[in-house]
Structure 1
């Protein structure tokens, strides 16, 4: 959408846009959000301010309070790739609080970036840049793409990454386009790259599905470099993140129009906060989601008040890996996995992440559950034992001795 189609500034004298980014400890990433806000303002002919969910200033409430003195209407546009907890919980909570604080101000909430043709064009351009560097041509060489996203505990968000990969594949001459994640869920990047290597393509293009060039993007680059070194018969390289490419303005312009015209579409049929999904039963229900958002918000406020330093989503105290390879799966490890996740969610004292893993080379002694950084491996675990592992080991640092299979020093 051009500024001509959006209308001149005179048509929107009493309106502003608030572009909401996540926020980062890396000021370079925050500056990218502000740069996009300035570019969007030039595109729309409407004042555009930037705000952040966490880790940077101004916060959403502060930004809206500043706009409330100058305009009567604010459209919130999300600079989030997919709809997970921040989009579904944290930003809506901040908006509701702002509406209560500024009853005369109209605040319209928009959607996340999501799946959009302009993003597909941008990813295609990123892939072509890597192909040029590698000296390959997808029309004559076998080129595979691995699209690597952050990964989320929200299944609806992860599903959209797979959809984006499929749409990137359709109509283009790629041999394959696979989905991977750098954390939280599967398949992880390393696993996806090894699967692609079995097909012996001429080249593998790794595309980090990130906005900025931060820590996670660095891990993706390292993964691509390690893969390139390990497989000399495949040329592999990593592309650039989305950055501040002008094509993002096409997406943001559309999301602004949706917000201000009340035509925002969000998926509720597969949202874990709206429907009862297997493995996510504890998340279903708007009240629970809002309570988590309030707790998250309060945590930020407490840390900033005490330390003057907002938290950075540090690693959990424990990482619990459950083998779900063939032998352990036959012994019931999927049920153990879900029971552990549920017990962790139910615990008030537990700070742990529970993930599935491939073979731990202990076949016949499973299901195997490994707790790190403690280096304790539990064997022959059933789903009833999961509660004991959480309540004793994870909650109180007391090893469940009768389940110990091995300890790693």
Structure 2
């Protein structure tokens, strides 16, 4: 949807931006746009879709299209959990939007999270698989495995376990286990083998995914392989959440929370704000990067003011290297050191290279972000450091074979 052809102000002076992740599969992006259209019909105010990556329009482009015709925009996240995108990327985009559109009020909502409508939706998906298998939870021993993507953020992973427990409470399942298809443990394969030891009559695998993409396919494959390996257990996989109308109930609630300033975030268990065991280095990681960028912008107009006691030169380039768990295991510390060395050796010393916590591209690391351009490089090897410095930092030429938008 776009507001370029009809003015949103004719409908309302308030608008909603539904932020999806974005996918290389256009079917998944179309699901986001469908939900945006359905949410507009539900709320009676303009709703546009914007994407974090891999799809158009970007958050910035969507805001630019809405802002001229409305006085306030509420951002609603189509994210299942609060990890790096929700906690870092969208707030950074909104900071920029507030600077570029000072006459527009922006309210940032929360992620989908734990909500009664989602628990009911997961229950119905489990029931659909039971029907396909010909089992009944009231008469048969039915175990459920709730499988999510997995995150490097413990707060997000904890919500999966909470949903699994809520799905178990008050229902006739023999057990409900939380598991993950990547990034963290327990993995789907480990969980299924553990459940098999209890010899249930059936195992229902429920993907906790929005779209039907690559990860959902891996979950289906894992369930099928398990079914073949254990002939005494019937196992099958359900469908992702898709565009079920009950998601609109959740999105509507998140919209109301945003526009009334009543958003609740789990800051007491956020790894960016408190020291959690095993994640101590993440405290302030992404926040520190954002502060550095804000600092640069805030003082850009002071750099040539000689009598300003706070005047100083901001770096021309800021390079952030993700050193979170997954990227670190893939060699990010070595990439960080090579980049620092290459930056020191360059003729232009006005470059800052820092470590960052999760950049939200787990599995494609080591990840390197170069600002102010906002270019993200993936699968960076130590030997790529010289190329990034010589080509991008010195000559303003993007290293195309590492660019996340071109891979």
TM-score, length-normalised on structure 1?
A: 0.71
Asked if the contact 1:344/1:350 (under 8 Å) is kept, the reply is: no
The aligned residue for residue 302 of structure 1 is: none
Alignment of 1:165-180 (within 5 A): 165-180=164-179
Matched residue SS, 2:176: strand
- 8 A Cα contact 1:274 1:286, kept in partner: no
> Which residue of structure 1 aligns with residue 213 of structure 2?
214
Does residue 348 of structure 1 match 2:336?
yes
Distance 1:176 1:350, change over 3 A: farther
**Paired residues of 2:88 and 2:287 also in contact (CA < 8 A):** no
Measure, in 1, the Cα distance between the counterparts of 2:291 and 2:194: 37
2:264 aligned residue: 265
Give 1:327's aligned residue: none
- State the shift of 1:395 in Å: 4.5
Contact preservation (8 Å) 1:80, 1:113: yes
CA displacement at 1:171 relative to structure 2: 0.5
Report what 2:22 is aligned to: 23
Paired position in structure 1 for 2:47: 48
Tell whether the 8 Å contact from 2:9 to 2:69 is kept in structure 1 after alignment: no
Which residue in 2 is equivalent to 1:233? 232
Number of the residue aligned with 2:310:
none
CA apart distance, 1:258: 0.2
Structure 2 Cα separation of the partners of residues 179 and 22 of structure 1:
23
SS in 2 for 1:69: helix
Would the alpha carbon gap of residues 38 and 88 (structure 1) be closer, same or farther in structure 2, given more than 3 Å must change? same
Do the aligned residues in 1 keep the contact of 2:9 with 2:70 (CA within 8 Å)? no
Tell me whether 1:277 sits opposite 2:314 in the alignment: no
For the aligned residues, what is the CA RMSD? Answer: 2.8
CA offset digits 1:343-393 (Å, max 9, x no partner): 845851689xxxxxxxxxxxxxxxxxxxxxxxxxxxxxxxxxxxxxxxxxx
Structure 1 residues without counterparts, runs of 5 or longer: 1-8, 295-315, 321-339, 352-393, 398-409
Deviations 1:49-103 (A, max 9, x none): 0000000011111111111111010000000000000000001100110000000
Aligned to 2:91: 92
1:247 to 2:246 alignment? yes
Aligned residue pairs total: 307
In structure 2, the CA distance between the partners of 1:345 and 1:151, relative to structure 1 (3 Å rule), is: farther
Residues 292, 241 of structure 1: alpha-carbon distance in 2 compared, 3 angstrom cutoff: farther
> Aligned partners of 1:144 and 1:78: how far apart in 2?
31
Aligned residue in 1 for 2:312: none
- Give 2:35's aligned residue: 36
Instruction: Provide the C-alpha distance between the structure 1 equivalents of 2:139 and 2:292, rounded to a whole number of angstroms.
Output: 50
**Inter-partner Cα distance in structure 1 for 2:329 and 2:55:** 31
Q: Find the aligned partners of 2:114 and 2:152 in 1 and give their Cα distance.
A: 19
Q: Which residue of 1 aligns with 2:155?
A: 156
Residues 240-270 of structure 1 show CA distances to partners (whole Å, capped at 9, x for unaligned) of 0000000000000000000000000000111
Superposition TM-score, scaled by structure 2 size: 0.71
Structure 1 residues 109-120: aligned runs within 5 Å:
109-120=108-119
SS of alignment partner, residue 22 of structure 2: coil
- Aligned: 1:188 with 2:187: yes
Match in the other structure for 2:143? 144
- The separation in 1 between residues aligned to 2:248 and 2:225, in whole angstroms, is 34
3-state SS of paired residue (1:57): coil
Q: What SS does structure 2 have at the residue aligned with 1:263?
A: coil
Whether the aligned pair in 2 keeps the contact of 1:89 and 1:293 (CA below 8 Å) is: no
Structure 1 position 23, deviation (Å): 0.3
Map of 1:371 onto structure 2: none
Q: Partners in 2 of 1:190 and 1:286 — Cα distance?
A: 32
Structure 1 residues 265 and 137, CA gap change in structure 2 (3 angstroms):
same
Distance in structure 2 (CA, Å) of the matches to 1:252 and 1:162: 22
Displaced runs of 4+ in structure 1, greater than 2 A?
9-12, 286-294, 340-347, 394-397
Contact 1:146 1:206 in 2 (8 A): yes
**Deviation, structure 1 residue 291:** 4.0
Aligned to 1:70: 69
Distance 1:17 1:274, change over 3 A: same
CA gap of 1:110–1:284, structure 2 versus 1, over 3 A, is: same
In 2, Cα distance between the equivalents of 1:67 and 1:10?
A: 9
Q: Secondary structure at the match of 1:237?
A: strand
Shift of 1:286: 6.3
